């Protein structure tokens, strides 16, 4: 739960004082805003509630199952109103944790298996295409433009432009969003990039097909692209010299 800073609380308090008169006697849900304290309390609660919801919605992007925002909100309300009830749907903390972990692990295994089957089928056909190469690790790539510069090592800092998409063609990221290019150390990125970048001379443009084992791992590892089969179009612009 994200806490408000002292300055944020102070600002909300001042807003509450300023609006107290017009809020007097107002009801929102079961709350009656009759005083400055009522208004301040409501606004702090609303601000925290909005932050909690945003955090939960962000987490949902990494879940291997479909979450339910209404059930989440109902759980918060129940917890706030029944602070002495330590049971979670009748389970103690240990049992509830085992229950949640079991559901997540089973769902992750199913999603991972389905994604791998899709990746295997695609890679088997894609590997037969002209100009597509498959490395020992299973990374597939195609040379669009072959540069003439040096190839980077794991220790090098590089500058690249890239487009990330899913197998269905949906574009997920484009380095144009970050000013046109990004810089990073080759040894600090996903395995598919580590291997692929070391194949590329500066000035090259390659397409890489990267299965989950060489990307962000199985679903549920906390990354939005975890468990996904990814397609990267990479321009290696430069090796950054200090």
β-bridge pairing 230-240 and 205-210: antiparallel
Higher pLDDT, 110 or 6: 110
| Residue 25: per-residue pLDDT | 60
Which of 76-90, 129-143, 182-196, 219-233 has the lowest average pLDDT? 219-233
Inter-helix orientation angle 36-60/69-81, to 10°: 140
Listed in sequence order, the DSSP H helices in 127-203 are 191-197
Task: Give the residue-averaged pLDDT of 13-33.
Answer: 58
Residue ranges per structural domain of the chain: 115-240
> How high is the mean pLDDT of the chain?
87
| Residue 109: per-residue pLDDT | 84
Percent of the chain with pLDDT over 70: 88
| Residue 223: per-residue pLDDT | 80
For residue 3, is pLDDT > 80? Answer: no
pTM: predicted TM-score of the whole model, two decimal places: 0.66
For residue 1, is pLDDT > 60? Answer: no
Q: What is the CA radius of gyration of the chain?
A: 25
Query: Residue 45 belongs to what H/E stretch?
Result: helix 36-60
Give the tens place of pLDDT for each residue, 122-164. 999 999 999 999 999 999 999 999 999 999 999 999 999 999 9
Higher pLDDT, 108 or 236: 236
**Dihedral through CA 186, CA 187, CA 188, CA 191, nearest 10?**
90
CATH fold of the domain at 115-240: Chitinase A; domain 3 (3.10.50)
Q: How far apart are CA 42 and CA 44, in angstroms?
A: 6
| Residue 133: per-residue pLDDT | 97
Q: In which region does residue 134 sit, left (phi positive, over 0), alpha (psi from -120 to 50) or beta (all else)?
A: beta
Instruction: Answer for the pair 235, 182: CB distance below 8 angstroms, yes or no.
Output: no
- pLDDT tier, 233 (very low <50, low <70, confident <90, very high otherwise): very high
Higher pLDDT, 168 or 162: 162
Q: Could you identify the residue written with the tokens 């989950």? A: 212
Phi, psi of 127 (to 5 degrees): -65, -15
């Amino acid at each position: 739960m994200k806490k408000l800073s002292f300055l944020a609380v102070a600002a909300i308090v001042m807003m509450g004082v300023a609006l107290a008169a017009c809020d007097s006697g107002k009801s929102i849900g079961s709350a009656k805003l009759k005083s400055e304290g009522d208004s301040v309390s409501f606004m702090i609660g609303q601000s925290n509630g909005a932050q909690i919801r945003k955090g939960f919605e962000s987490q949902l992007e990494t879940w291997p199952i479909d979450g339910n925002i209404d059930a989440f909100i109902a759980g918060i309300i129940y917890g706030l109103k029944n602070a002495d009830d330590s049971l979670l749907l009748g389970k103690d903390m240990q049992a509830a944790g085992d229950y949640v972990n079991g559901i997540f692990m089973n769902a992750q295994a199913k999603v991972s298996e389905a994604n791998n089957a899709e990746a295997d089928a695609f890679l088997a056909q894609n590997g037969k295409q002209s100009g597509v190469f498959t490395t020992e690790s299973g990374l597939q790539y195609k040379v669009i433009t072959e540069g003439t510069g040096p190839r980077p090592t794991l220790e090098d800092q590089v500058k690249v432009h890239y487009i990330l998409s899913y197998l269905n063609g949906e574009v997920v990221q484009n380095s144009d969003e970050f000013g046109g290019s990004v810089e990073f150390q080759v040894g600090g990125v996903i395995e598919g990039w580590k291997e692929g970048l070391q194949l590329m001379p500066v000035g090259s443009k390659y397409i890489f097909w990267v299965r989950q084992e060489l990307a962000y791992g199985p679903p549920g590892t906390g990354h939005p692209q975890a468990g996904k089969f990814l397609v990267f179009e990479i321009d290696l612009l430069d090796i950054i010299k200090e």
